[in-house]
Amino acid sequence: MPATLPDGDPVPADGALPRGATEGLGTRPFAFYVHVPFCVTRCGYCDFNTYTATELGPGASRDSYADTAIAEVRMARRVLGDADLPVETVFVGGGTPTLLPPDDLGRILAAVDAEFGLAPGAEVTTEANPESVDQAYLEGLREAGFTRVSYGMQSAREHVLKVLDRTHTPGRVPLVVDWTRKAGFEHVNLDLIYGTPGESDEDWRLSLEAALSTGPDHVSAYALIVEEGTRLAARVRRGELATPDDDAMADRYLMADEMLSAHGLRWYEISNWATGPGAACRHNLLYWTGADWWGVGPGAHSHVGGTRWWNVKHPAAYAARLAEGVTPAHAREVLDDADRRIERIMLELRLADGCPAALLDDAAVARAIGDGLIEAGPYRERGRAVLTTRGRLLADAVVRDLT
Ligand SMILES: C[S@@+](CC[C@H](N)C(=O)[O-])C[C@H]1O[C@@H](n2cnc3c(N)ncnc32)[C@H](O)[C@@H]1O
Ligand code: SF4
């Protein structure tokens, strides 16, 4: 999430959407994202919209957050009218959602259910930090209706976790995954980061091995991004920490793909692997395939029918708006057909299922096939542009060439 919010068009005080956005509501899948903007400490690499207790200041608190978020869920119902909108997926992210009691997360989920109705078999995920949950907490989440937990494991190497400012020990992850299974969760994701300064290829191999040994049905592996304005960026600039070069990063991606595949986790999006279609994160797939979603919380983004908006960033400003019955949206933009085409290419090309040929220029695709970046077979046989392994490594450049 960027440190500053983009400008955009103003949003009316009642949050009403442009007419075009609400046309077709209910014909596309519908999802909720709930942002929980609190952390115990801030990791040096992270520029997400999150606040420690000392950073938070007056006007917002963890204790009152669930009620504030519920007020936005009710506002969503008023804005979207009475269309039948069963919620396919809910994703609670952060920050550290598991700093809130499971009852609070459960009350937000219950409000989504009361206002819109959860679809049968809805996927309900929360992110969690390994140090922030115990067996009783996980049982509380399961009782509240959560179906999936996504842990920020990042690494199994102590020195790597230290550079990332993570506060859990490597041994904590197998323990919490075990508790998660015992609490009755079928779906567990582990987030990993590669390319941390000081991480060797062997450290990365050991982290992948440790993640796999816990038996997750989903793994996300992200290259570390040195975000402007973070403590990590300052340390890199001062020369205290060195980041790996592009070749080393590519090798680590390939190592992840090989080891995860060998253990039955197949890639379905460039940074995401799952044991089968039923284990892929349905919520993220909805984002990547143009569904409608409402993002609750400070700084959260929403998308309905080609209109995108984003909420005010600070939890106090967010709470004040909702207390006055005014939309927390900061600004919005309406995507035109050209924007929507580019967005679809950017998102769908990253999927193992690829992007429809109809969106692409044939000559540009022929060049990418010739360069070994797009698979020839699926394009000819199914009209889908699917990245090769080399294409995945160079995805940003491929997207630039095709848009
Ligand atoms: C923002 S965190 C929120 C969840 C939880 N607090 C945690 O840290 O695991 C979600 C995921 O984003 C990824 N992430 C955050 N900042 C990143 C960065 N600068 N580079 C790469 N991945 C990052 C991490 O893998 C993390 O697990
Ligand atoms: S715990 Fe997660 S959200 Fe919080 S500062 Fe660290 S990476 Fe960011």
Q: Are residues 359 and 236 in the same domain?
A: no
Q: What is the pLDDT of residue 1?
A: 46
CATH number at residue 234: 3.20.20.70
Q: Are residues 266 and 354 in the same domain?
A: no
| Strand (E) or helix (H) holding 377 | helix 376-382
Number of domains the chain contains: 2
Question: Residue with the nearest Cα to atom 25 of ligand 1?
Answer: 191
Task: Report d(CA 314, CA 299) in Å as an integer.
Answer: 7
Tens-place pLDDT, residues 283-295: 999 999 999 999 9
| Residue at a domain's end among 288, 322, 356 | 288
Is any ligand 2 atom within 6 A of the Cβ of residue 132? no
Residue 3 domain flag: no
Which ligand does the CA of 220 lie closest to?
1
Residue 329 domain flag: no
Q: What is the pLDDT of residue 7?
A: 80
Question: Residue with the nearest Cα to atom 16 of ligand 1?
Answer: 46
Residue 200 domain flag: yes
Tens-place pLDDT, residues 51-94: 999 999 999 999 999 999 999 999 999 999 999 999 999 999 99
Ligand 2 atom, smallest distance to 46 CA: 8
Q: Are residues 118 and 247 in the same domain?
A: yes
Place of tokens 């046309």: 23
Residue 4 — pLDDT band, cuts 50, 70, 90?
low
Is any ligand 2 atom within 6 A of the Cβ of residue 222? no
| Strand (E) or helix (H) holding 78 | helix 62-80
Tens-place pLDDT, residues 184-195: 999 999 999 999
Q: Are residues 132 and 248 in the same domain?
A: yes
Domain interval for residue 251:
19-288
**Residue 225 main-chain phi, psi, to 5 deg:** -100, 125
**Is a pLDDT exceeding 80 seen at residue 150?**
yes
Tens-place pLDDT, residues 98-143: 999 999 999 999 999 999 999 999 999 999 999 999 999 999 999 9
Is any ligand 2 atom within 6 A of the Cβ of residue 193? no
pLDDT (average), residues 358-380? 96
Q: Are residues 275 and 355 in the same domain?
A: no
Residue 100 CB-density burial (10 A; 0-12 exposed, 13-18 middle, 19+ buried)? buried
DSSP structure string for 234-291 = HHHHTTSS-PPPHHHHHHHHHHHHHHHHHTTPEEEETTEEESSGGGS-HHHHHHHTT-
Q: Which of 38, 42, 168 to probe ligand 2 with, by most ligand atoms within 8 A of CB?
A: 42
Q: Are residues 390 and 281 in the same domain?
A: no
Q: What is the pLDDT of residue 42?
A: 96
Tens-place pLDDT, residues 204-245: 999 999 999 999 999 999 999 999 999 999 999 999 999 989
Is any ligand 1 atom within 6 A of the Cβ of residue 70? no
Q: Are residues 138 and 263 in the same domain?
A: yes
Question: Residue with the nearest Cα to atom 8 of ligand 1?
Answer: 152
| Residue at a domain's end among 288, 303, 322 | 288
Residue 300 domain flag: no
Is any ligand 2 atom within 6 A of the Cβ of residue 46? yes
Residue 175 domain flag: yes
**Is a pLDDT exceeding 80 seen at residue 2?**
no
Q: Are residues 73 and 153 in the same domain?
A: yes
Is any ligand 1 atom within 6 A of the Cβ of residue 193? yes
Task: Report d(CA 325, CA 331) in Å as an integer.
Answer: 17
Is any ligand 1 atom within 6 A of the Cβ of residue 287? no
Task: Report d(CA 116, CA 155) in Å as an integer.
Answer: 38
Q: Are residues 258 and 398 in the same domain?
A: no
Tens-place pLDDT, residues 293-343: 999 999 999 999 999 999 999 999 999 999 999 999 999 999 999 999 999
Residue 297 domain flag: no
Question: Residue with the nearest Cα to atom 6 of ligand 2?
Answer: 43
Q: Are residues 168 and 110 in the same domain?
A: yes
Write down the mean pLDDT value for the chain: 96
Residue 250 domain flag: yes
Residue 245 domain flag: yes
Is any ligand 1 atom within 6 A of the Cβ of residue 227? yes
Task: Report d(CA 92, CA 284) in Å as an integer.
Answer: 12
Tens-place pLDDT, residues 236-275: 999 999 998 999 999 999 999 999 999 999 999 999 999 9
